[in-house]
């Protein structure tokens, strides 16, 4: 199955036109196949792009056409795609047994237990747990359990394809796969990262500065893994701009590039875009007892979920037209609703005047018959549109009551463009689930925490703590906000907080960092200017890389 962002096992969506480009199939086969006698497995071969690339690679190595049989084995679940792959193999003189029409996990169950492969190549499917057919999922998870792994309901199908394929390699085997860049950063892949780091002494990851699959905004990497390596052990990340550049990439030169120490832990691999000295320094700083985590100062939770924003989120004009303004709650729903680090009543008014939908319909939590007539009228309107039938609404006792509404102490951006920040809430507003809600848990002034967050050290760590999926945006779950290292200003700091807020509103973040770094990192914590410059450069390097992938 040579496609990505695949949600359901129907041929239209499964294929979707997202075939593995030839530049990738040819490159992986050039890298992995270097002997004419190797035997190759493609566990999700789709219509045969990789199969054809494998055959062409053998022909390059001088294998006669009449000796190709038995060198390559493809597996494909979808009958139509399997037939296409068979046809392509037969065009080179191979018989139909080259391609097996089966799911990979049944194929594994039926495979001779002693059968191993020299090379595994492919582009495994990208299907979420809930769309992973139970019959196949049970087999896959059982096999993963047997090798000591514990998949869960967040596990995507590419994970068992990757780890179980790795287990089929002989002692000198190589694996080359197209894998979602999620491997670097998502928590459900942390166990996979540990497995790979222990199973393969050398891992090379090819990344692209421009999206390979632009239509689906899915960032991918080429994962190149080698067993039984005696020298140059570790991990290396090689960035290329485009597929065209990949075509001309010197494989021998790559193999000579320095590798970084591959840690056998669940840390995200995003850090491997950095230099080894930068990685080691960040690790040292994180262990510094003076540097606490943001979660020690605040509790971060998701925003409220309306179920249907079209009905619940309204602007001031709509609130007045229906005469329901007194039955609304002030809410923010976008990061650009925050101009500074303080969210004031004047900011909310500016948003309202800009016709932003900043009011949440919030009637009394009583039965319909007891509601004010104006609320009944608006609810009847919503029901006429079928809004009450949406899943989130229909499972409520009263569909028109949004749960978990409270006024937080502050906000944290869930999705970040330029840089993360903590916003102090000086209004009665709450937020939707596009913005995280913050409650401060210490006696330290919230203003101090918000300003302290604007330092180069925290910014550097934020880029390797959050997740970026290829659209230029850095995304944080509530727990990830809490994992960002956060040194805190002393209460007798000389920083003018209102000036910081003003500079943020004027989009002068570099000046803000200069001010906070000088006071917090250099004066208070005694970091050198060189060390602070390293933090700043790490942030800029990672941030620019991320934002260039829009």
- Is 281 or 152 the better-scoring residue by pLDDT? 281
Assigned domain for 415 exists: yes
Boundaries of domain holding 461: 282-305+405-550
Domain identity same for 516 and 378: no
* pLDDT at residue 6 greater than cutoff 50: no
Domain identity same for 295 and 363: no
Assigned domain for 180 exists: yes
Instruction: Dump pLDDT digits (tens) for 47-90.
Output: 999 999 999 999 999 999 889 988 999 999 999 999 999 999 99
* pLDDT at residue 265 greater than cutoff 50: yes
Domain identity same for 77 and 201: yes
pLDDT at 132: 76
- pLDDT band for 147, please (50, 70, 90 cuts): very high
Domain identity same for 77 and 211: yes
Assigned domain for 143 exists: yes
- Is 265 or 120 the better-scoring residue by pLDDT? 120
Give 387-393 contacts, CB < 8 A, sequence gap 24+: 387/308, 387/310, 387/311, 390/307, 390/308, 391/307, 392/305, 392/306, 392/307, 392/308, 393/307, 393/308
- pLDDT band for 18, please (50, 70, 90 cuts): low
For all residues of the chain together, what is the average pLDDT? Answer: 91
450-479: average pLDDT:
93
Assigned domain for 1 exists: no
Domain identity same for 88 and 226: yes
Task: Give the count of domains, the chain.
Answer: 3
Q: What is the DSSP string of 147-175?
A: TT----TT--THHHHHHHHHTTEEEEEEE
Can you tell me the distance from the alpha carbon of 244 to that of 257, in angstroms, rounded to the nearest whole number? 21
Assigned domain for 504 exists: yes
- pLDDT band for 550, please (50, 70, 90 cuts): low
- pLDDT band for 533, please (50, 70, 90 cuts): very high
Assigned domain for 261 exists: yes
Look at phi and psi of residue 156 and say left if phi exceeds 0, alpha if psi is from -120 to 50, else beta.
beta
pLDDT at 2: 40
pLDDT at 268: 85
3-state percent helix, strand, coil for the chain, nearest multiple of 5 = 45, 15, 40
* pLDDT at residue 238 greater than cutoff 50: yes
Assigned domain for 3 exists: no
pTM beyond 0.75: the answer is: yes
Domain identity same for 201 and 317: no
Domain identity same for 348 and 242: no
CATH number, domain containing residue 22 = 3.40.50.150
* pLDDT at residue 11 greater than cutoff 60: no
């Amino acid at each position: 199955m040579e496609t990505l962002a695949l949600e359901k096992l129907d041929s239209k969506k499964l294929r979707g036109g997202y075939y593995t480009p030839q530049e990738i199939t040819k490159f992986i086969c050039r890298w992995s196949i270097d002997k004419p006698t190797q035997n190759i497995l493609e566990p999700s071969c789709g219509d045969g792009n990789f199969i054809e690339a494998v055959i062409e690679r053998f022909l390059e190595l001088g294998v006669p056409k009449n000796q190709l049989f038995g060198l390559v084995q493809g597996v494909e679940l979808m009958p139509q795609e399997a037939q296409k792959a068979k046809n392509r193999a037969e065009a080179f003189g191979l018989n139909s047994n080259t391609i097996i029409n089966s799911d990979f996990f049944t194929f594994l169950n039926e495979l001779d237990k002693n059968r191993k492969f020299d090379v595994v190549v492919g582009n495994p499917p990208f299907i979420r747990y809930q769309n992973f057919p139970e019959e196949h999922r049970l087999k896959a998870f059982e096999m993963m359990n047997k090798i000591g792994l514990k998949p869960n309901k967040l596990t995507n199908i590419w994970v068992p394809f990757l780890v179980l394929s790795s287990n089929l390699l002989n002692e000198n085997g190589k694996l080359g796969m197209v894998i979602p860049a999620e491997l670097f950063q998502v928590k459900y892949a942390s166990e996979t990262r540990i497995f790979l780091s222990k199973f393969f002494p050398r891992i090379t990851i090819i990344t692209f500065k421009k999206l390979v699959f632009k239509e689906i905004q899915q960032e991918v990497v080429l994962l190149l893994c080698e067993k039984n390596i005696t020298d140059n052990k570790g991990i290396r990340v090689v960035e290329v701009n485009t597929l065209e550049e990949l075509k001309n990439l010197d494989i021998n030169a790559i193999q000579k590039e320095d590798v970084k120490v591959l840690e056998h832990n669940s840390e995200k691999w995003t850090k491997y875009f950095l230099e080894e000295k930068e990685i080691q320094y960040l690790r040292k700083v994180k262990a510094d007892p003076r540097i606490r985590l943001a979660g020690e100062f605040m509790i971060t939770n998701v925003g409220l979920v309306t179920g249907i924003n079209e009905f619940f989120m309204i602007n001031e004009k709509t609130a007045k037209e229906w005469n329901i303004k007194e039955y609304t709650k002030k809410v923010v729903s976008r990061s650009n609703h925050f101009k500074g680090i303080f969210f004031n009543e004047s900011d909310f008014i500016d948003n309202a005047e800009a016709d932003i939908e900043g009011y949440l319909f919030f009637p009394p939590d009583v039965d319909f018959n007891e509601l004010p007539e104006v609320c009944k009228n608006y609810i009847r309107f919503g029901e006429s549109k079928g809004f009450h039938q949406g899943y989130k609404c229909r499972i409520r006792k009263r569909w028109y009551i949004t749960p978990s509404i409270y006024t937080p102490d502050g906000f944290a951006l869930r999705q970040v463009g330029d840089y993360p920040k903590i916003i102090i809430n000086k209004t009665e507003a709450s937020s939707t689930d596009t913005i995280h809600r913050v409650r401060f848990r210490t006696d330290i002034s919230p203003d101090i925490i918000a300003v302290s967050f604007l330092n180069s050290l925290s910014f550097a760590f934020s880029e390797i703590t959050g997740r970026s999926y290829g659209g230029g945006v850095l995304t944080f779950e509530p727990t990830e906000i809490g994992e960002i290292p956060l040194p805190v200003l002393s209460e007798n700091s000389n920083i003018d907080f209102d000036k910081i807020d003003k500079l943020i509103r004027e989009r002068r973040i570099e000046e803000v960092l200069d001010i906070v770094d000088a006071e917090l990192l250099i004066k208070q914590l005694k970091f050198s200017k060189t060390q602070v410059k390293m933090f700043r450069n790490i942030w800029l390097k990672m941030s620019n890389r991320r934002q260039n992938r829009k």
